[in-house]
Structure 1
């Protein structure tokens, strides 16, 4: 009986460890970084950078820049005096105008569904 309880506790510790590791991984995502990499996007001119804030795409004077911002911003685009700035927070979301669904988000949803059953 005690051994069965210990196995059950170990299984819960394992679940918590998996969730903690996944959440830590999910909090960091990848952003493209480049200056002058155009729209339509030329991925060969860009690098990828791990980001703990927000990805940004800036279009000013016909020049496109993509960066990781070290702080969170609302996921939206704004245009002021001919300069357009877009913020997003999923993997490589600043590569184009399309919205990406992060594979990690799908996996986390599946794990949460299984664990909460």
Structure 2
């Protein structure tokens, strides 16, 4: 019985963490939008692959869009790079509207929470 509960929790956890179904990724698009970001300054695009946030080092201008600059960035992380717009911090991410947050590094909180639930459930059932 306990093993079935653990398997069931694992399946639900995986489904909760992974994106299911086929849908377009939603990303913000704006030029010279501030940091901190106000979503009222942007429009929402439906994108194919990833969202982008770029911040030019020379003047601090921020732009948000999608499906550009993959060669300059690292997925679900930020990296300094020489882009056609100048030396910039380029951040790429793969969740809806993720380019609207200040820090775009991948958030592991849902995964860690799920792992903690599994550990507690295992200790309680065994």
TM-score bracket, shorter-length normalisation: 0.5 to 0.7
Say if 1:54 and 1:87 are closer, same or farther in 2 by CA, change over 3 A: farther
Q: Does 1:78 align with 2:81?
A: yes
Aligned 1:1-117 pairs, distance under 5 A: 7-25=1-19, 32-36=27-31, 38-40=33-35, 41-48=37-44, 53-58=49-54, 64-69=62-67, 73-74=73-74, 75=77, 76-80=79-83, 82-83=85-86, 84=88, 86-89=90-93, 92-95=97-100, 98-99=102-103, 105-116=108-119
CA-based RMSD: 4.1
Say if 1:36 and 1:52 are closer, same or farther in 2 by CA, change over 3 A: closer
| Structure of greater Rg | 1
Unmatched segments (≥5 aa) in structure 2: 121-126
1:65 and 1:33 mapped to 2: Cα distance? Answer: 9
Larger RCO, structures 1/2 (Cα 8 Å, 6+ apart): 2
- Deviations along 1:16-71, one digit per CA (max 9) or x if unpaired, are 22122122149x9x7642132523444203244677744212467x8753123387
1:87 Cα deviation after fit: 1.6
Q: How many residues matched?
A: 106
1:85 Cα deviation after fit: 5.1
CA contact (8 A) 2:6 2:118 kept: no
